[in-house]
Amino acid sequence: QRSIAIAKMNRQKGNVIVLPYPAQGHINPLLQFTKLLVSKGLKATFATTPYTIKYIHPSPPHITIEAISDGFDEGGCKHAPTVQAYLDSYKSVGSKSLAELIVKLRDSFSPVNCIIYDSMLPWALDVAKQFGIYGAVFLTTSASVCSMYWQIKLGHLNFPLDKGVFPISLPGLPPLQFSDLPGFIAKPQDHPAYLAAVMQQFETLEHNDWAFCNTFQELESELMKDLEGVWQLIPVGPMVPYAYLNQPTSGDISYGANFWEPASQKYLRWLETKPPRSVVYVSFGSMGTTTAKQAQEIERGLKASKKYFLWVWRESEDRLPEGFLSGLDDEVLVVTWCNQLEVLAHPAVGCFVTHCGWNSVLEALSIGVPMVAVAQGGDQPTNSKFVEEIWGVGSRAEKDSNGVLTGEELDRCIRDVMDGEKSEHINSNVSKWSESAARAASLGGSSEKNISQFIKILMTGME
Ligand code: UDX
């Protein structure tokens, strides 16, 4: 009896482990991808570090959550002496831990036939190969940003970069100024460990059975056309809960992971009291930091714009400038964290001042909120260029020579987006992209087809 059961279970197909990098901006899209796969019939285990597991609640239905150790079970990356030490530890401890999970699932009659892993954890592919199962990488940045790293790998962009040769042309991309490059490329000396990890993804890209990217075909169509057949990036995005993609069948209004506790529902009640499209929502994501000087300038800009604003301030209050927001009362609400999706989808919100993290950009595009792009680092400078110049869905703020966004510049950008000459055009573009995102994700849409094809292969073993 038992051997028949084992033989049957070992034939089971369509069972995946999904392994995100343990940060908010990575867990969100990968958790959303997992939910989608499960809704289409796959079985899934979401495996993340003990430190981040506690932020996923309530546990999404039909997804098993398991721990994978990174060697820093108590405090995660924050407890590692350096980024490089953290990545090395996750590689050595995590490989073993992942292998143990695969064996555990096999022994409990639930054998896995694919690992979908965050591109920041390239060693997961070796584990997949070791067990003879499929390996699929998931890239959490735009395809355009991915293509730049790819060009470095091909030797078309060499370090140290010669600023004199800019603007440069790369296949499928608009002419790029030096300031349009991702921070890891423009200033490789600032984050050598991250750059090395990112570059390693591209060394092994073609060894994967699938390489998924959180974008959609239509959004980066020039690039997709130019690189067709040259590299195998498969667009499956936007990874935004379906309720925000005009899919009324889904009631899922959040990703289901919060590294910070959302402030009470007070902000939603506050938004309820404001007229349509009158509020500026300000957030710089989960990783960025804001200096007191910068906060002061943002405050000046917001005051000058005479709009209402909802501001996510994650840092401790003693970093706020003295007299911060004095003279303002009902015009402003500062919260430590919120459900960004619910805020963006609220009719009172008319503008998103964002650092242009890729998730934030996709969320605003999908929900239809125009942006003021205030890039900080990483992939954000490139994203902010596309927001203004390519998709026409916002205004890109220029920083001064000290790297500070001035109040005047912020005020100018908010007006551009909310009531200046350009605002009608910007708002109509963002509505167009919102429809396009919904189409890509709906049945028969470009991303949905790619996901269904993947599922079919995993379930049947047939192309
Ligand atoms: C980072 C990079 O910036 C991003 O480009 C990369 O692709 C992933 O890692 P992060 O800086 O955190 O991410 O920004 P972003 O990509 O925008 O992700 C932040 C997430 O947190 C979004 O999904 C957003 O909805 C959520 N969020 C943010 C909240 O739910 N509440 C908040 O108050 C702020």
**HEC readout, 256-283:** CECCCCCCCCHHHHHHHCCCCCCEEEEE
Q: Find tokens 């796959």 and name the residue.
A: 42
At residue 8, the pLDDT reads 47
Which 3 state secondary structure label does DSSP give 22? coil
Residue of 28, 56, 286, 310 to test ligand 1 pocket, by largest number of atoms within 8 Å of CB: 286
- pLDDT, tens digit, 9 for 90 and up, residues 169-196: 999 999 999 999 999 899 888 888 888 9
Residue of 244, 340, 362, 367 to test ligand 1 pocket, by largest number of atoms within 8 Å of CB: 340
Beta-bridged to residue 157, according to DSSP, are none
Q: How far apart are CA 450 and CA 237, in angstroms?
A: 10
The angle subtended at Cα 12 by Cα 10 and Cα 16, nearest 5°, is 105
- Ligand 1, atom 12, lies closest to the CA of 286
| Pair of tokens at residue 259 | 């590294």
* Backbone angle region of 14, left / alpha / beta, with phi > 0 → left and psi within -120 to 50 → alpha: left
Which 3 state secondary structure label does DSSP give 18? strand
Residue 208 near residue 175 (C-beta atoms within 8 A): no
Residue of 144, 359, 380, 383 to test ligand 1 pocket, by largest number of atoms within 8 Å of CB: 359
Catalytically active residues are: 26, 118
Is the pTM higher than 0.90? The answer reads yes
Q: How far apart are CA 211 and CA 206, in angstroms?
A: 8
Residue 103 near residue 66 (C-beta atoms within 8 A): no
Q: How far apart are CA 170 and CA 174, in angstroms?
A: 8
At residue 247, the pLDDT reads 65
Q: How far apart are CA 24 and CA 28, in angstroms?
A: 6
The angle subtended at Cα 424 by Cα 418 and Cα 425, nearest 5°, is 120
Residue 56 near residue 257 (C-beta atoms within 8 A): yes
CA of 284 to the centre of ligand 1 (A): 8
Low-confidence ranges of the chain (pLDDT < 50): 6-11
Q: Which residues of 206-230 are buried (b: 16+ CB within 10 A; e: fewer)?
A: eebbbbbbbbbbbbbeebbeebeee
- Ligand 1, atom 34, lies closest to the CA of 285
Neighbours of 312 (CB within 10 A): 21
| Prior bond of 248 cis (ω within 30°) | no
At residue 65, the pLDDT reads 96
At residue 3, the pLDDT reads 53
List ligand 1's pocket residues with C-beta within 6 A: 23-26, 28, 140-141, 283, 285-288, 312, 337-341, 357-360, 363, 378-380
CA of 340 to the centre of ligand 1 (A): 9
